Amino acid sequence: MTYTMLFLAFVCSSCNDWLDVTPKTEKAEEDAFKTSKGFQDALTACYIKMNDATLYGAKLMMTDIEYLAQHWSFDESNNLNAVDMQNFEYTSDYPKSTLKSIYSNLYNVITQANTVLENARTRGDVITKDDVRAVVEAEALGIRAFCHMDVLRLFGQMPQNGTRKVQLAYAEEVTTGSIPFYGFEDFTRLISRDIDAALALLKDHDPVFKYSFAELDDFTNSKNNVDLQDDFLGYRRLRFNYYALKALKARLYMYLGDKSKAYEEAKGVIDALDRNGNKMLTLAGESDFAKGNYALPSECILALSNYDLETNLKAWFNNGTKGLYLAAERYNNLFSGVSSGSNRKKVWSAARDNKHAEFLKYKQPEDAASMETSELATQKQVIPLIRLSEMYLIAMESATSLTEVNALYREYMAARGIDTAALTEEQVMQEIMQEYHREFFGEGMMFYTYKRWGTPRMLWKTDREVGENDYVAPLPDTELKTN
Protein backbone atom coordinates (compact mmCIF):
# COMPACT_ATOMS: atom_id res chain seq x y z
CA MET A 1 0.00 0.00 0.00
CA THR A 2 1.38 3.37 -0.98
CA TYR A 3 1.95 6.18 1.47
CA THR A 4 -0.70 8.15 -0.41
CA MET A 5 -3.35 5.65 0.56
CA LEU A 6 -1.92 5.24 4.06
CA PHE A 7 -2.11 8.93 4.86
CA LEU A 8 -5.04 10.10 2.83
CA ALA A 9 -7.48 7.24 3.34
CA PHE A 10 -6.26 6.18 6.79
CA VAL A 11 -6.75 2.50 6.06
CA CYS A 12 -3.35 1.00 6.69
CA SER A 13 -3.81 -2.00 8.98
CA SER A 14 -0.26 -1.65 10.29
CA CYS A 15 -1.32 1.55 12.06
CA ASN A 16 -4.19 -0.02 13.96
CA ASP A 17 -1.94 -1.29 16.75
CA TRP A 18 -0.72 2.24 17.36
CA LEU A 19 -4.13 3.54 18.33
CA ASP A 20 -3.72 2.06 21.80
CA VAL A 21 -0.83 4.51 22.23
CA THR A 22 2.14 2.11 22.26
CA PRO A 23 2.93 -1.50 21.47
CA LYS A 24 2.26 -3.86 24.34
CA THR A 25 5.84 -5.04 24.81
CA GLU A 26 9.36 -3.77 24.33
CA LYS A 27 9.88 -6.42 21.63
CA ALA A 28 6.81 -5.23 19.75
CA GLU A 29 8.05 -1.66 19.93
CA GLU A 30 11.50 -2.66 18.74
CA ASP A 31 9.98 -4.51 15.77
CA ALA A 32 7.72 -1.58 14.92
CA PHE A 33 10.64 0.83 14.66
CA LYS A 34 12.98 -1.40 12.66
CA THR A 35 12.43 0.59 9.49
CA SER A 36 11.85 4.12 8.31
CA LYS A 37 8.32 3.10 7.34
CA GLY A 38 7.72 1.99 10.92
CA PHE A 39 8.48 5.53 12.10
CA GLN A 40 6.23 6.97 9.40
CA ASP A 41 3.36 4.66 10.41
CA ALA A 42 3.78 5.58 14.07
CA LEU A 43 3.70 9.29 13.25
CA THR A 44 0.68 8.84 10.99
CA ALA A 45 -1.09 7.24 13.95
CA CYS A 46 -0.85 10.60 15.73
CA TYR A 47 -2.78 12.28 12.93
CA ILE A 48 -5.34 9.48 12.89
CA LYS A 49 -5.96 9.97 16.59
CA MET A 50 -6.20 13.75 16.19
CA ASN A 51 -8.96 13.08 13.63
CA ASP A 52 -10.99 11.17 16.21
CA ALA A 53 -14.43 12.59 16.98
CA THR A 54 -13.37 13.11 20.60
CA LEU A 55 -10.74 15.58 19.39
CA TYR A 56 -10.49 17.58 16.15
CA GLY A 57 -12.88 15.32 14.27
CA ALA A 58 -15.76 16.91 16.20
CA LYS A 59 -15.53 17.96 19.85
CA LEU A 60 -12.62 20.41 19.55
CA MET A 61 -13.78 21.86 16.24
CA MET A 62 -17.47 21.69 15.38
CA THR A 63 -19.44 20.65 18.44
CA ASP A 64 -18.58 20.81 22.15
CA ILE A 65 -15.98 23.58 22.05
CA GLU A 66 -18.45 25.58 19.96
CA TYR A 67 -21.20 24.97 22.53
CA LEU A 68 -18.91 26.67 25.06
CA ALA A 69 -18.66 29.64 22.67
CA GLN A 70 -22.49 29.76 22.41
CA HIS A 71 -22.18 29.18 18.68
CA TRP A 72 -25.07 26.90 17.77
CA SER A 73 -28.84 27.01 17.78
CA PHE A 74 -30.71 23.78 18.51
CA ASP A 75 -33.90 22.30 19.86
CA GLU A 76 -33.09 22.27 23.58
CA SER A 77 -35.39 19.34 24.40
CA ASN A 78 -33.36 17.15 22.03
CA ASN A 79 -29.93 18.52 22.89
CA LEU A 80 -29.69 18.62 26.68
CA ASN A 81 -25.99 17.77 26.53
CA ALA A 82 -25.35 20.87 24.44
CA VAL A 83 -27.40 22.92 26.89
CA ASP A 84 -25.20 21.77 29.77
CA MET A 85 -22.06 22.69 27.84
CA GLN A 86 -23.42 26.11 26.87
CA ASN A 87 -24.28 26.77 30.51
CA PHE A 88 -20.83 25.65 31.69
CA GLU A 89 -22.39 22.98 33.92
CA TYR A 90 -19.06 21.27 34.34
CA THR A 91 -20.21 19.04 37.20
CA SER A 92 -23.05 17.55 35.14
CA ASP A 93 -22.53 14.12 33.64
CA TYR A 94 -22.08 15.01 29.97
CA PRO A 95 -19.63 17.94 30.34
CA LYS A 96 -17.68 15.99 32.93
CA SER A 97 -17.30 12.89 30.76
CA THR A 98 -16.65 14.93 27.61
CA LEU A 99 -13.88 16.97 29.18
CA LYS A 100 -12.32 13.83 30.61
CA SER A 101 -12.38 12.24 27.16
CA ILE A 102 -10.83 15.29 25.50
CA TYR A 103 -8.13 15.51 28.16
CA SER A 104 -7.19 11.83 28.05
CA ASN A 105 -7.17 11.69 24.26
CA LEU A 106 -4.98 14.79 23.92
CA TYR A 107 -2.46 13.08 26.17
CA ASN A 108 -2.93 9.88 24.19
CA VAL A 109 -1.74 11.74 21.08
CA ILE A 110 1.11 13.32 23.06
CA THR A 111 2.22 9.92 24.32
CA GLN A 112 2.21 8.59 20.77
CA ALA A 113 4.35 11.53 19.65
CA ASN A 114 6.72 10.88 22.56
CA THR A 115 7.00 7.24 21.49
CA VAL A 116 8.19 8.43 18.08
CA LEU A 117 10.68 10.87 19.65
CA GLU A 118 12.11 8.34 22.11
CA ASN A 119 12.63 5.78 19.38
CA ALA A 120 14.13 8.41 17.09
CA ARG A 121 16.82 8.92 19.72
CA THR A 122 17.55 5.22 20.20
CA ARG A 123 16.68 3.65 16.84
CA GLY A 124 16.58 6.62 14.49
CA ASP A 125 19.61 5.43 12.51
CA VAL A 126 17.29 3.17 10.50
CA ILE A 127 15.98 6.36 8.86
CA THR A 128 18.81 6.82 6.38
CA LYS A 129 17.40 9.85 4.54
CA ASP A 130 18.25 13.07 6.35
CA ASP A 131 15.12 14.96 5.28
CA VAL A 132 12.85 12.15 6.42
CA ARG A 133 14.46 11.81 9.82
CA ALA A 134 14.36 15.57 10.46
CA VAL A 135 10.72 15.79 9.40
CA VAL A 136 9.69 12.80 11.54
CA GLU A 137 11.22 14.32 14.67
CA ALA A 138 9.97 17.84 13.89
CA GLU A 139 6.40 16.72 13.29
CA ALA A 140 6.36 14.71 16.52
CA LEU A 141 7.57 17.79 18.41
CA GLY A 142 4.99 19.93 16.64
CA ILE A 143 2.17 17.55 17.53
CA ARG A 144 3.34 17.50 21.15
CA ALA A 145 3.41 21.30 21.32
CA PHE A 146 0.05 21.70 19.55
CA CYS A 147 -1.81 19.29 21.83
CA HIS A 148 -0.25 20.72 24.98
CA MET A 149 -1.31 24.18 23.87
CA ASP A 150 -4.91 23.05 23.57
CA VAL A 151 -4.68 21.50 27.04
CA LEU A 152 -3.56 24.97 28.15
CA ARG A 153 -6.29 26.84 26.29
CA LEU A 154 -9.10 24.63 27.59
CA PHE A 155 -7.96 23.57 31.07
CA GLY A 156 -5.35 26.18 31.92
CA GLN A 157 -5.77 29.38 33.89
CA MET A 158 -6.77 32.67 32.34
CA PRO A 159 -3.81 34.00 30.34
CA GLN A 160 -4.43 37.53 31.57
CA ASN A 161 -5.30 38.65 35.12
CA GLY A 162 -6.35 35.22 36.34
CA THR A 163 -6.83 34.60 40.05
CA ARG A 164 -7.07 30.79 39.81
CA LYS A 165 -3.67 29.19 39.33
CA VAL A 166 -3.70 25.87 37.48
CA GLN A 167 -0.80 23.47 37.11
CA LEU A 168 -0.78 21.24 34.06
CA ALA A 169 1.13 18.12 33.09
CA TYR A 170 3.72 18.50 30.34
CA ALA A 171 4.50 14.99 29.08
CA GLU A 172 7.98 14.68 27.61
CA GLU A 173 8.44 10.93 27.86
CA VAL A 174 6.49 7.70 27.77
CA THR A 175 6.06 6.52 31.33
CA THR A 176 3.72 4.61 33.58
CA GLY A 177 4.77 6.89 36.43
CA SER A 178 3.67 10.40 37.25
CA ILE A 179 4.14 13.24 34.79
CA PRO A 180 5.58 16.54 36.09
CA PHE A 181 3.10 19.40 36.51
CA TYR A 182 4.05 22.98 35.76
CA GLY A 183 2.73 26.44 36.43
CA PHE A 184 1.56 28.68 33.60
CA GLU A 185 4.88 30.32 32.70
CA ASP A 186 6.90 27.12 32.76
CA PHE A 187 4.24 25.23 30.81
CA THR A 188 4.15 27.85 28.05
CA ARG A 189 7.95 27.94 27.99
CA LEU A 190 7.99 24.21 27.25
CA ILE A 191 5.51 24.66 24.40
CA SER A 192 7.71 27.38 22.92
CA ARG A 193 10.82 25.24 23.36
CA ASP A 194 9.26 22.33 21.45
CA ILE A 195 8.15 24.63 18.63
CA ASP A 196 11.66 26.12 18.37
CA ALA A 197 13.24 22.66 18.29
CA ALA A 198 10.89 21.59 15.51
CA LEU A 199 11.58 24.75 13.51
CA ALA A 200 15.32 24.17 13.80
CA LEU A 201 14.91 20.64 12.43
CA LEU A 202 12.76 21.77 9.51
CA LYS A 203 14.79 24.79 8.52
CA ASP A 204 17.07 22.82 6.19
CA HIS A 205 14.84 19.82 5.52
CA ASP A 206 11.22 20.84 4.91
CA PRO A 207 10.26 20.54 1.22
CA VAL A 208 8.25 23.79 1.54
CA PHE A 209 11.51 25.65 0.95
CA LYS A 210 11.88 23.97 -2.43
CA TYR A 211 8.28 23.54 -3.58
CA SER A 212 4.99 25.36 -3.16
CA PHE A 213 2.18 23.97 -1.01
CA ALA A 214 0.13 23.46 -4.18
CA GLU A 215 2.92 21.41 -5.75
CA LEU A 216 3.29 19.32 -2.62
CA ASP A 217 -0.49 18.79 -2.49
CA ASP A 218 -0.19 17.20 -5.94
CA PHE A 219 3.38 15.94 -5.87
CA THR A 220 2.64 12.72 -7.80
CA ASN A 221 1.63 14.77 -10.84
CA SER A 222 4.60 14.72 -13.22
CA LYS A 223 3.90 18.27 -14.45
CA ASN A 224 4.93 19.64 -11.06
CA ASN A 225 8.44 18.15 -11.28
CA VAL A 226 8.52 17.46 -7.55
CA ASP A 227 11.46 15.30 -6.53
CA LEU A 228 11.26 14.13 -2.90
CA GLN A 229 13.53 11.81 -0.97
CA ASP A 230 10.40 9.89 0.01
CA ASP A 231 6.66 10.15 -0.70
CA PHE A 232 6.30 10.65 3.05
CA LEU A 233 7.48 14.24 2.49
CA GLY A 234 4.45 15.17 0.39
CA TYR A 235 1.18 16.81 1.48
CA ARG A 236 2.95 19.32 3.70
CA ARG A 237 -0.21 21.35 4.23
CA LEU A 238 -1.67 18.29 5.97
CA ARG A 239 1.35 17.92 8.24
CA PHE A 240 3.24 20.01 10.78
CA ASN A 241 5.33 22.01 8.32
CA TYR A 242 7.68 24.93 8.94
CA TYR A 243 5.06 27.63 8.43
CA ALA A 244 2.48 25.80 10.52
CA LEU A 245 4.92 25.92 13.41
CA LYS A 246 5.59 29.62 12.84
CA ALA A 247 1.83 30.18 12.86
CA LEU A 248 1.45 28.11 16.03
CA LYS A 249 4.05 30.32 17.67
CA ALA A 250 2.11 33.43 16.60
CA ARG A 251 -1.01 31.89 18.14
CA LEU A 252 0.88 31.13 21.37
CA TYR A 253 2.32 34.64 21.68
CA MET A 254 -1.09 36.17 21.00
CA TYR A 255 -2.64 33.98 23.69
CA LEU A 256 0.05 35.12 26.14
CA GLY A 257 -0.57 38.76 25.28
CA ASP A 258 2.90 39.31 23.79
CA LYS A 259 1.69 41.33 20.83
CA SER A 260 5.06 42.36 19.44
CA LYS A 261 6.24 38.77 19.10
CA ALA A 262 2.84 37.62 17.85
CA TYR A 263 2.98 40.29 15.16
CA GLU A 264 6.50 39.29 14.12
CA GLU A 265 5.57 35.62 13.75
CA ALA A 266 2.26 36.29 12.00
CA LYS A 267 3.84 38.67 9.53
CA GLY A 268 6.60 36.14 8.92
CA VAL A 269 3.95 33.75 7.67
CA ILE A 270 1.94 36.34 5.74
CA ASP A 271 5.01 37.70 3.96
CA ALA A 272 6.81 34.39 3.34
CA LEU A 273 7.93 33.92 -0.28
CA ASP A 274 8.58 30.77 -2.26
CA ARG A 275 11.65 30.11 -4.39
CA ASN A 276 10.13 32.13 -7.26
CA GLY A 277 9.46 35.19 -5.12
CA ASN A 278 5.70 34.55 -4.91
CA LYS A 279 3.68 34.52 -1.70
CA MET A 280 4.01 31.13 -0.05
CA LEU A 281 0.42 31.41 1.15
CA THR A 282 -2.44 33.58 -0.04
CA LEU A 283 -5.91 34.17 1.31
CA ALA A 284 -8.59 32.05 -0.28
CA GLY A 285 -10.78 33.94 -2.71
CA GLU A 286 -13.74 33.21 -4.92
CA SER A 287 -12.04 30.19 -6.47
CA ASP A 288 -12.34 28.01 -3.36
CA PHE A 289 -15.95 29.02 -2.78
CA ALA A 290 -16.84 28.40 -6.44
CA LYS A 291 -15.44 24.88 -6.16
CA GLY A 292 -17.41 24.21 -2.98
CA ASN A 293 -14.20 24.08 -0.96
CA TYR A 294 -15.78 25.93 1.96
CA ALA A 295 -13.11 24.91 4.48
CA LEU A 296 -10.76 27.02 2.31
CA PRO A 297 -7.97 24.45 1.86
CA SER A 298 -5.91 26.79 -0.31
CA GLU A 299 -5.24 29.03 2.71
CA CYS A 300 -4.80 26.26 5.26
CA ILE A 301 -1.36 26.35 6.84
CA LEU A 302 -2.16 23.18 8.76
CA ALA A 303 -5.13 20.87 8.31
CA LEU A 304 -6.32 17.34 8.87
CA SER A 305 -7.75 15.16 6.13
CA ASN A 306 -10.71 13.36 7.67
CA TYR A 307 -12.11 10.33 5.86
CA ASP A 308 -15.21 10.23 8.10
CA LEU A 309 -16.44 13.79 7.57
CA GLU A 310 -19.43 12.86 5.43
CA THR A 311 -20.63 10.25 7.93
CA ASN A 312 -20.19 12.56 10.89
CA LEU A 313 -21.92 15.48 9.19
CA LYS A 314 -25.17 13.56 9.09
CA ALA A 315 -25.13 13.28 12.87
CA TRP A 316 -24.29 16.94 13.51
CA PHE A 317 -26.16 18.96 10.92
CA ASN A 318 -29.37 18.87 8.91
CA ASN A 319 -30.64 16.11 11.21
CA GLY A 320 -34.22 17.21 11.89
CA THR A 321 -34.93 18.35 15.44
CA LYS A 322 -31.64 16.83 16.64
CA GLY A 323 -29.47 18.83 14.27
CA LEU A 324 -27.43 21.95 14.87
CA TYR A 325 -28.31 25.08 12.94
CA LEU A 326 -28.07 28.87 13.09
CA ALA A 327 -31.28 30.72 13.78
CA ALA A 328 -32.07 33.39 11.19
CA GLU A 329 -31.88 36.11 13.83
CA ARG A 330 -28.39 35.01 14.80
CA TYR A 331 -27.33 34.76 11.16
CA ASN A 332 -28.47 38.33 10.58
CA ASN A 333 -26.61 39.40 13.70
CA LEU A 334 -23.47 37.59 12.57
CA PHE A 335 -23.45 39.26 9.15
CA SER A 336 -24.77 42.63 10.20
CA GLY A 337 -23.35 45.29 7.89
CA VAL A 338 -21.73 42.72 5.60
CA SER A 339 -22.66 43.07 1.93
CA SER A 340 -24.71 40.37 0.24
CA GLY A 341 -21.76 39.71 -2.07
CA SER A 342 -19.61 38.30 0.74
CA ASN A 343 -18.50 34.86 -0.32
CA ARG A 344 -18.48 33.68 3.30
CA LYS A 345 -22.27 33.63 3.31
CA LYS A 346 -22.02 30.66 0.97
CA VAL A 347 -20.97 28.55 3.93
CA TRP A 348 -24.58 28.70 5.14
CA SER A 349 -27.67 27.34 3.47
CA ALA A 350 -30.57 29.65 2.73
CA ALA A 351 -32.95 30.23 5.63
CA ARG A 352 -36.00 27.98 5.86
CA ASP A 353 -38.48 28.24 8.69
CA ASN A 354 -36.14 30.83 10.24
CA LYS A 355 -33.28 28.32 10.32
CA HIS A 356 -30.02 28.14 8.42
CA ALA A 357 -30.14 24.40 8.94
CA GLU A 358 -27.31 23.20 6.76
CA PHE A 359 -23.74 24.21 7.58
CA LEU A 360 -21.75 23.77 4.39
CA LYS A 361 -18.17 24.27 5.59
CA TYR A 362 -17.59 20.51 5.79
CA LYS A 363 -20.19 19.34 3.27
CA GLN A 364 -18.88 16.66 0.92
CA PRO A 365 -19.62 16.63 -2.83
CA GLU A 366 -22.38 14.44 -4.23
CA ASP A 367 -19.97 12.94 -6.77
CA ALA A 368 -17.27 12.10 -4.20
CA ALA A 369 -17.14 8.46 -5.30
CA SER A 370 -15.95 9.50 -8.75
CA MET A 371 -13.28 11.92 -7.53
CA GLU A 372 -9.57 11.23 -7.20
CA THR A 373 -8.51 10.19 -3.70
CA SER A 374 -5.89 12.96 -3.54
CA GLU A 375 -8.40 15.65 -4.53
CA LEU A 376 -10.86 14.47 -1.90
CA ALA A 377 -8.19 14.37 0.78
CA THR A 378 -6.59 17.74 0.06
CA GLN A 379 -9.64 19.75 -1.06
CA LYS A 380 -12.82 18.26 0.41
CA GLN A 381 -12.20 16.14 3.51
CA VAL A 382 -10.39 19.03 5.17
CA ILE A 383 -10.53 20.11 8.81
CA PRO A 384 -8.58 23.39 9.17
CA LEU A 385 -6.34 23.61 12.23
CA ILE A 386 -4.58 26.87 11.32
CA ARG A 387 -5.54 29.17 8.43
CA LEU A 388 -3.83 32.21 7.01
CA SER A 389 -6.84 34.35 7.91
CA GLU A 390 -5.94 33.86 11.59
CA MET A 391 -2.49 35.30 10.91
CA TYR A 392 -4.12 38.37 9.35
CA LEU A 393 -6.35 38.88 12.38
CA ILE A 394 -3.39 38.42 14.74
CA ALA A 395 -1.35 40.94 12.76
CA MET A 396 -4.25 43.39 12.74
CA GLU A 397 -4.76 43.07 16.50
CA SER A 398 -1.06 43.46 17.27
CA ALA A 399 -0.02 46.08 14.71
CA THR A 400 1.00 49.42 16.18
CA SER A 401 -0.09 51.55 13.23
CA LEU A 402 -3.72 52.13 12.24
CA THR A 403 -2.50 52.59 8.67
CA GLU A 404 -1.08 49.07 8.67
CA VAL A 405 -4.19 47.68 10.37
CA ASN A 406 -6.30 49.05 7.55
CA ALA A 407 -3.90 47.80 4.85
CA LEU A 408 -4.18 44.28 6.28
CA TYR A 409 -7.93 44.67 6.73
CA ARG A 410 -8.52 45.75 3.11
CA GLU A 411 -6.47 42.83 1.78
CA TYR A 412 -8.23 40.38 4.07
CA MET A 413 -11.74 41.61 3.28
CA ALA A 414 -11.08 41.80 -0.47
CA ALA A 415 -10.38 38.07 -0.44
CA ARG A 416 -13.82 37.63 1.13
CA GLY A 417 -15.46 39.61 -1.66
CA ILE A 418 -16.00 42.79 0.34
CA ASP A 419 -14.99 46.37 -0.37
CA THR A 420 -14.64 48.14 2.95
CA ALA A 421 -14.06 51.57 4.38
CA ALA A 422 -11.11 52.22 6.67
CA LEU A 423 -11.58 51.37 10.35
CA THR A 424 -11.20 53.95 13.10
CA GLU A 425 -9.25 53.17 16.27
CA GLU A 426 -12.56 52.61 18.07
CA GLN A 427 -13.80 50.14 15.45
CA VAL A 428 -10.74 47.88 15.19
CA MET A 429 -11.31 45.50 18.10
CA GLN A 430 -15.06 45.31 17.53
CA GLU A 431 -14.49 44.33 13.90
CA ILE A 432 -11.78 41.81 14.80
CA MET A 433 -14.14 40.16 17.29
CA GLN A 434 -16.88 39.91 14.67
CA GLU A 435 -14.43 38.48 12.17
CA TYR A 436 -13.42 35.70 14.56
CA HIS A 437 -17.11 34.78 14.80
CA ARG A 438 -17.76 34.89 11.07
CA GLU A 439 -14.52 33.39 9.88
CA PHE A 440 -14.00 30.51 12.27
CA PHE A 441 -17.55 29.35 12.97
CA GLY A 442 -17.33 25.57 13.34
CA GLU A 443 -13.54 25.62 13.76
CA GLY A 444 -13.27 25.71 17.54
CA MET A 445 -11.59 29.11 17.77
CA MET A 446 -14.04 31.43 19.48
CA PHE A 447 -14.05 30.06 23.03
CA TYR A 448 -10.27 30.37 23.24
CA THR A 449 -10.42 33.86 21.77
CA TYR A 450 -12.99 34.93 24.34
CA LYS A 451 -10.81 33.42 27.05
CA ARG A 452 -7.65 35.28 26.09
CA TRP A 453 -9.64 38.52 25.97
CA GLY A 454 -11.38 37.71 29.26
CA THR A 455 -14.70 38.66 27.64
CA PRO A 456 -17.55 38.90 30.16
CA ARG A 457 -20.27 39.24 27.52
CA MET A 458 -20.29 36.53 24.88
CA LEU A 459 -22.33 37.01 21.75
CA TRP A 460 -25.59 35.09 22.28
CA LYS A 461 -24.95 34.48 26.00
CA THR A 462 -27.67 36.78 27.25
CA ASP A 463 -28.61 35.35 30.64
CA ARG A 464 -25.45 36.35 32.52
CA GLU A 465 -21.82 37.37 32.28
CA VAL A 466 -19.11 34.77 31.74
CA GLY A 467 -16.39 34.57 34.35
CA GLU A 468 -13.17 32.83 35.26
CA ASN A 469 -14.86 29.65 36.49
CA ASP A 470 -16.56 29.31 33.11
CA TYR A 471 -13.39 29.82 31.10
CA VAL A 472 -11.24 27.41 33.11
CA ALA A 473 -12.56 23.93 32.39
CA PRO A 474 -11.90 21.65 35.37
CA LEU A 475 -9.31 18.93 35.11
CA PRO A 476 -10.56 15.34 35.43
CA ASP A 477 -10.98 14.18 39.02
CA THR A 478 -7.85 12.04 38.80
CA GLU A 479 -5.76 15.15 38.22
CA LEU A 480 -7.29 17.44 40.83
CA LYS A 481 -4.86 16.43 43.54
CA THR A 482 -2.14 18.38 41.75
CA ASN A 483 -3.90 21.76 41.98
Q: If pLDDT is split at 50, 70 and 90, which confidence band does 478 have?
A: confident
Q: If pLDDT is split at 50, 70 and 90, which confidence band does 374 have?
A: confident
pLDDT of residue 20: 44
pLDDT of residue 318: 67
pLDDT of residue 8: 42
- CA dist 78 and 298 (Å) reads 37
| Interacting residues of 65 by C-beta distance below 8 A, sequence separation 6+ | 59, 154, 444, 447
pLDDT of residue 396: 98
pLDDT of residue 25: 59
377 or 137: which leads in pLDDT: 137
Can you tell me the mean pLDDT for 183-192? Answer: 98
Helices (H), 51-86: 64-68, 80-86
According to DSSP, residue 428 is labeled: H
Helix axes 446-453, 425-439, angle to 10 degrees: 150
Three-class secondary structure of residue 318 per DSSP: coil
pLDDT tens-place string over residues 192-219: 999 999 999 999 999 999 999 999 988 9
39 or 420: which leads in pLDDT: 39
pLDDT tens-place string over residues 15-30: 334 334 444 556 678 7
pLDDT tens-place string over residues 145-160: 999 999 999 999 999 9
Question: What's the CA dihedral at 270, 272, 274, 276 to 10 degrees?
Answer: 90
Mean pLDDT, the chain, whole residue set: 91
State the distance between the two ends of the chain, measured CA to CA, in whole angstroms: 47
pLDDT(424) > 80:
yes
CA distances from 47 to 29, 40, 139, 240 (A): 19, 11, 10, 10
Q: If pLDDT is split at 50, 70 and 90, which confidence band does 110 have?
A: very high
Can you tell me the mean pLDDT for 103-129? Answer: 97
Helix axes 130-155, 36-50, angle to 10 degrees: 20
- CA dist 240 and 138 (Å) reads 8
In 3D space, the residue among 407, 395, 421 whose CA is nearest the CA of residue 338 turns out to be 421
Length of the chain: 483
pLDDT(398) > 80:
yes
pLDDT tens-place string over residues 85-101: 999 999 999 999 999 99
pLDDT of residue 483: 60
Q: If pLDDT is split at 50, 70 and 90, which confidence band does 480 have?
A: low
pLDDT of residue 12: 36
CA distances from 470 to 21, 69, 228, 448 (A): 31, 11, 48, 12
- CA dist 414 and 433 (Å) reads 18
pLDDT(10) > 80:
no
Say which amino acid occupies 245.
L
| Interacting residues of 232 by C-beta distance below 8 A, sequence separation 6+ | 3, 40, 132, 135
